[in-house]
Amino acid sequence: MDTMGAAALGWRLAVAVVAIAGPTVLYLGLWRFLERLRDDALIERLVARGAVDRPRPAAADVLAAAMSGVDGRRCPACGTVAVAGEAECRGCRRPIEGGE
Ligand SMILES: [Zn+2]
């Protein structure tokens, strides 16, 4: 302990930083990668063809809603609460006024 040099201390600090921050960086990288893989147009085509059921709100939608919140708008047709910035109803796919 008393003879630990600056190089050894620096190495241990570097290992600690990698061990602490590494899993978080990897998780965020995986999240971004999965968002890039997401293909809404393909899902819409498959739903229109009847090949798959319309997906429930995806995890990315839930996260976006949690981060941006709801802004009080509701779908005029079915009454589904709109997420901030949402241009299309999640329930019936009709356009909602005030979306981006
Ligand atoms: Zn609706």
On whether residue 21 sits in a domain, the answer given is: no
pLDDT digits (tens, 9 = 90+) for 63-98: 766 766 667 778 888 888 887 777 888 888 888 876
Number of folded domains that form the chain: 1
Q: Report the separation in Å between the CA atom of 90 and the middle of ligand 1, taken as the mean of its atom positions.
A: 6
Q: Report the separation in Å between the CA atom of 98 and the middle of ligand 1, taken as the mean of its atom positions.
A: 14
On whether residue 94 sits in a domain, the answer given is: yes
Q: Which two tokens stand for residue 99?
A: 């979306």
On whether residue 97 sits in a domain, the answer given is: yes
**What pTM was estimated for this model as a whole?**
0.45
Q: Report the separation in Å between the CA atom of 93 and the middle of ligand 1, taken as the mean of its atom positions.
A: 6
* Residue in the block written with tokens 């999640």: 90
Q: Report the separation in Å between the CA atom of 81 and the middle of ligand 1, taken as the mean of its atom positions.
A: 8
On whether residue 44 sits in a domain, the answer given is: no
Contact 82, 71 (CB under 8 A): yes
Which residues have CB less than 5 Å away from ligand 1 (the ion)?
Answer: 75, 77-78, 80, 89, 91-92
Domain holding 81, by residue range, is 56-100
Separation between Cα atoms, residue 51 and residue 67, nearest integer Å: 32
